[in-house]
Amino acid sequence: MKADSSAVSLLGAGPTGALLAILLRRRGHEATLYESRPDPRGRAAESGRSINLALADRGIHTLKMAGVFAQLEAAMLPMRGRLIHHEGGSTSLQPYGQRPNELIYSISRHRLNQTLLDVATRQHGVTVHFEHRFESADFDRRMALVRDLRTGRAIDIPMQPLLATDGAGSLMRRQMSALNLIEAHETDLEHGYKELSIPADAAGRHQMDREALHIWPRGAYMLIALPNEDGSFTATLFIAKHGEISFESLTEPATIEKFFSRNFPDARRLMPDCVAQFQDNPIGFLGTVSADPWHYRDAAALIGDSAHAIVPFHGQGMNCCFEDCVEFEACMGRQPSWDRVFEEFGALRKPNTDAIAAMALDNYLEMRDRVVHPQFQLQQALSLELERRFPQRFIPRYSMVMFHHEIPYRTALQRGIVQTQLLTELTEGSVAGLADVDFDRAEREILQRLAPLS
Ligand SMILES: Cc1cc2nc3c(=O)[nH]c(=O)nc-3n(C[C@H](O)[C@H](O)[C@H](O)COP(=O)(O)OP(=O)(O)OC[C@H]3O[C@@H](n4cnc5c(N)ncnc54)[C@H](O)[C@@H]3O)c2cc1C
């Protein structure tokens, strides 16, 4: 089947499915989406799923290309850096970058989904069937079964092709893997998460700095909070699922109260109903998904979280899915048939999604532990200084990932390894501050070990 022909079906109308539909339509395809949930438009946000998301350069760049950015800009809350809440009660801001545009943004997942769906469905040729759940695929017949959850009716849809944008728990991926059409792995993190709300004050204002991502790093666990438009913050506790200090041990109100009052006293004061929220809200699971290949012939392909879900500690999962869509669209422009599109897409994209999966796991250690260590802080200050002195060659890894969509994740990972080694060497021994750093040596090493970025 040619990639420039016909209708395409998508399973799942989350961020990936909705954005991809917009781009498919632009290339002349009719796109029909089957989404198991009800239409989110005109409804309150569902609880239990991350309420707000960090949006960064990669996501923004993609939204601009898809013509959706202007409708979301007003809903984006800038965050300048990490505001660390130390154990003693003091706070300190670690800026994310050093240029005025080096910010990340907090955005409501609900608002983003609604806007993407609005833009997608406004286009003639894009149809979304809500409350329609994909249930099984018959690869011999090249047909998939979707059930209308309102009537119970089963519908056969052709895989011509079928794009599975059905998220981390993708049924399509699991079926392809069970039939040995692909190899797939789901690696659970031992830690889970729970969301809590820090309300606005009586005047509807944010009760903490609204231009920061707040972090309470506590070594084995952490609390974070991102601002919402209505003056509230959504806080998320990440902690082990089992063990001495874990979701398993935090069940009694007195234990929960003690845990929060001891570890996060300032956040506790802002959440009068903290214990009740903790008891009522669900525990979310986190993990990394990998699959290879991401497609079966020209019949079906995985895109977005269904192919490569990652842990959320770099705030890149959705940003990465959006990048997928742009790469996929570019492959459609170059390749003559769907199987060739899928092959090229997987070959180009997987090294990058593997790289962000690794960096996201690494960032958990950084956020919950390393950020408070003086050596880390010195190395962070040094990396910004080296970027000022050698902007073509040294860009902090965090900045490459968050502020430079033109630098592939894989390059960020590879250069990041060299840079971390350099930072370690330059801060060894009696180096206590930037004034002690041997910048002549830094220059020699950088010129030798880091090629200029194009
Ligand atoms: C706690 C947490 C925090 C996060 N924070 C960030 C962040 O700050 N920044 C960031 O970039 N990313 C973040 N992410 C990641 C981000 O949420 C995902 O990468 C993104 O939602 C993936 O989009 P998707 O459309 O591929 O999958 P999903 O968002 O999961 O959407 C899949 C859709 O498919 C539908 N579906 C599923 N099964 C079926 C079926 N059988 N039939 C029909 N429809 C089906 C679902 O209902 C859903 O609408 C976070 C994730 C978590 C868990």
Give the pLDDT confidence of 113-150 residue by residue, as tens digits.
999 999 999 999 999 999 999 999 999 999 999 999 99
- Reduced to 3 states (helix: H, G, I; strand: E, B; else coil), residue 291 is strand
Tens-digit pLDDT profile for residues 87-108: 999 999 999 999 999 999 999 9
Task: Answer yes or no: is pLDDT of 45 > 90.
Answer: no
Domain range for 411 is: 373-449
Pairwise CA distance, residues 13 & 130, whole Å: 8
Please tell me the distance from the alpha carbon of residue 329 to that of residue 322, in angstroms, as a whole number.
11
Mean pLDDT, the chain, rounded, equals 96
pLDDT of residue 95: 93
Q: pLDDT tens digit string along 365-399?
A: 888 888 889 999 999 999 999 999 999 999 999 99
Query: Does residue 104 lie in a domain region?
Result: no
Please count the structural domains in the chain: 3
CA–centroid distance, 13 to ligand 1, in Å, is 10
**Residue that wins the pLDDT comparison between 443 and 42:** 443
Domain boundary pick from 244, 264, 285: 285
Has residue 101 been placed in a domain? Answer: no
For residue 373, the number of C-alpha atoms closer than 13 Å in the C-beta half-sphere is 10
Q: Which of 363, 383, 415 is the last residue of a domain?
A: 363
Query: Does the pLDDT value for residue 289 go beyond 70?
Result: yes
> How many whole angstroms from 344 Cα to the centroid of ligand 1?
24
Domain CATH code at residue 115: 3.50.50.60
User: Residues 49-89: pLDDT tens digits?
Assistant: 568 999 999 999 999 999 999 999 999 999 999 999 999 99
Are 410 and 421 members of one domain?
Answer: yes
pLDDT for res 257:
98
pLDDT the model gives residue 310: 98
What share of the chain in percent tops pLDDT 90?
Answer: 94
Give the mean model confidence (pLDDT) for residues 295-316.
97
> Is 422 among the domain residues?
yes
Q: Are residues 242 and 340 in the same domain?
A: no
pLDDT, residue 50, reads 61
Give the residue-averaged pLDDT of 433-437.
Answer: 97
Q: Give me ligand 1 centre to Cα 49, in Å.
A: 9
Question: Is residue 2 very low, low, confident or very high in pLDDT (cuts 50, 70, 90)?
Answer: low
Same domain, 322 and 380: no
Q: Which residues line ligand 1 (CB under 6 A)?
A: 11-17, 34-37, 50, 53-54, 133-134, 165-168, 171, 193, 284, 304-305, 312, 315-319, 321
Region of 112 (left: φ > 0; alpha: ψ -120 to 50; beta: rest) is alpha
* Last residue in a domain, options 299, 328, 363: 363
pLDDT above 60 for 309: yes
Residue 6 has pLDDT above 90, yes or no: no
Mean pLDDT across the stretch 180-209? 97
Together in a domain, 169 and 270:
no
Whether residue 243 is found in the same domain as residue 354: no
Q: Is residue 94 part of a domain?
A: no
Residue 362 clears pLDDT 70, i.e. is over it: yes
Predicted pLDDT of residue 51:
87
**DSSP H helix total and E strand total for the chain:** 15, 19
Q: Are residues 246 and 297 in the same domain?
A: no
Angle between helices 439-449 and 409-426 (to 10 degrees): 150
Contacts of residue 231, defined as CB under 8 A and 6 or more positions apart, other chains included, come to: 199, 200, 201, 204, 205, 206, 207
Place 158 in a pLDDT band, splitting at 50, 70 and 90: very high
Probe target for ligand 1 pocket from 11, 166, 234, with the most ligand atoms within 8 Å of CB = 166
Which pLDDT value is given to residue 43?
Answer: 78
Mean pLDDT across the stretch 8-21? 98
On whether residue 103 sits in a domain, the answer given is no
Q: In this structure, are 255 and 384 located in the same domain?
A: no
CA distance 363 to 40: 32
Q: Is residue 89 part of a domain?
A: no
Q: What are 399-431's pLDDT values in tens digits? A: 999 999 999 999 999 999 999 999 999 999 999
Give me the CATH number covering residue 200: 3.30.9.30
